[in-house]
Chains A and B, each alone.
Chain A
Amino acid sequence: MLEAFGLAFRLVVSFDPDLYEIIGLSLRVSLMALLCASLIGLPIGALVGFTRFPGRGIIIVFMNALMGMPPVVIGLLLYLMISRSGPLGALALLYTPTAMIIAQTLLILPIVAALTRQIIEDLHAEYDEQFRSLSVSRGFALVTLLADARYSLVTVVLAGFGRAIAEVGAVIIVGGNINHFTRVMTTAIALETSKGQLALAVALGIVLLVIALLVNVAAAVLRSAALRRAYV
């Protein structure tokens, strides 16, 4: 373990270009996936949390269940879609960062949507009577709910980011772990493990952990600033 920590430290301070390339791609893929999943998942979650319609209960159960979807299954399903022999094969997406972004988007979309749904629904239950009393229009109500839930939604987005950057099963299938092209932190860890380079694998894991930690520290600072002003 100590060896791994030392190695992690040396890797980071040595500014090894390969390492920074891998970190850069990890961040790029996971942040893009997060952006896509948020752009799709936040509105879906908010709408399902805000509105009542037939079949809503089934959709919620479905959304919640999808949160437990194994990454490998997502990777496989996506592979079958974008393989040259699949229905979307002509797009030539397999073994590209784009495919990895799609995979991670699909992976975290249910998390973002389901958690957003819960948060918006709870907040709506709290505000609903007051909104109706104030004759707040439905559109304005939804915007207000999203705005007032923003610090909770940051946590949702972080949960999505955490899952995206940490997953390996999906991106290794659709990305192919190609050196200098689709190799990210997690697939590099898998590769070093398979080479028996356990210390290096753990060192990469530590670097990944530190990145996740930095992102969460940033969010915690944001949230505590909000807490100080009691907007939460």
Chain B
Amino acid sequence: MLNSLSRRGAIAALISAMLLGVSGGSYAAGEKVIVVQSTTSTQNSGLYDYLLPKFKAATGITVRVVAVGTGQALKNAENGDGDVLIVHAKSSEEKFVADGFGLSRQNLMYNDFVVVGPSDDPTELSGSGTAVDAFTRASQGSAAFTSRGDNSGTHKKEMSIWKAAGIDPTTASGSWYRELGAGMGATLNTTALMGAYTLTDRATWISFKNKQNLGIVVQGDPSLFNQYGIIMVNPARHAHVKQELAQTFIDWMTGAEGQAAIAAYTLEGKQLFTPNAE
């Protein structure tokens, strides 16, 4: 008797726990929603948390941001898993559009990349005039250089600088060159622990909270320019793309209101992105 009572009690508790859990969700039908495939730097910097409420207030559209590396974001968008793409690897973006996966690409905003490393700068990168010079020094020094190694926008930029320096760092992979296969944040965490150098976008760097002994050692070289683009996934290719909502989003982001909001977003008193839509 006791036994069957307690069993009933347990089942009732389980079911009510379920219901409690289920009631937490919201699947409002007819809600205007788009999915944006984005690079992590824009998300981690807090930019979307600042912009999207303004956009929602203006248009009533909910934007769901999936933040992954640029490489994966492009791949996901190719598969049609998103309506809009915001990434930072211009040549890959142009190829994406040329291959018919996206409609026209527009500049959205920019900032720059910086090379960060231990504040005592053992390989003396801070004396280098250009990014190419800095990378050449890094390849000759004793301190490690960590790479995203994940085909992200930052990784592509890094590889382009190595190429310009005429160095193939992958031959040193495992010795001074460490390919982490990780996101920017994880890479910075590791870099701080290893006392290594790495390339990062400025927005992630400023918003990153675990800098430890790391500091900027190289910045300001024009080759470190970091352009973000915005692209609508091609509705001709993926019929489910919410063309109208996506266009509204792109127009707002590249229009006066969005551009002003991007310029107004600061972290610790520093502007993270400079709008430059045409």
Contact = CB atoms under 8 A, between A and B. Distances in A.
Contacts of A24: 21, 24
Contacts, number: 92
A198 B209 contact: yes
Interface in A75-115: 83-86, 89, 92, 94-95, 97
B21 A193 contact: no
B183 A194 contact: yes
A95 B189 contact: no
Interface residues of B, number: 40
A185 B65 CA distance: 17
A123 interface: no
A89 B80 contact: yes
Contact of B6 (A85, A178, A182, A225): A225
A137 B25 CA distance: 44
A32 B186 contact: no
Contacts of B80: 83-85, 89
Contacts of A85: 78-81
Nearest to B6: A225
A32 B81 contact: no
Contacts of B159: none
Contacts of A86: 79
Interface string A8-37: 000000000000010011011001100100
Interface string B1-31: 0110011001001000110111011000000
A194 B184 contact: yes
A195 B185 contact: yes
Contacts of A198: 189, 209-210
Interface in A39-93: 83-86, 89, 92
In this complex, which of B3, B21, B48, B207 has the most chain A Cβ atoms within 10 angstroms of its Cβ? Answer: B21
Interface residues of A, number: 36
Given A84-B79, A197-B209, A177 B66 contact: yes
Contact of A25 (B25, B35, B207, B209): B25
Contact of A194 (B3, B7, B186, B240): B186
B43 to A, nearest CB: 8
Contacts of B64: 95, 176, 178, 181-182
B49 interface: yes
B208 A195 contact: yes
A35 B211 contact: no
A225 B2 CA distance: 11
A138 to B, nearest CB: 23
B32 to A, nearest CB: 14
Interface in B215-268: 238, 240
Contacts of B17: 27, 31
Nearest to B185: A194
Nearest to B36: A178
Contacts of B21: 24, 27-28, 31-32
A154 B21 CA distance: 19
A25 B208 CA distance: 27
A83 B81 contact: yes
8 contacts: A31-B18, A31-B21, A85-B78, A177-B67, A179-B49, A193-B189, A194-B44, A222-B10
Interface of B: 2-3, 6-7, 10, 13, 17-18, 20-22, 24-25, 35, 40, 44, 48-49, 64-67, 76, 78-81, 183-186, 188-189, 207-211, 238, 240
5 tightest CB-CB pairs across the interface, nearest first?
A: A194-B185, A196-B210, A84-B80, A28-B21, A176-B66
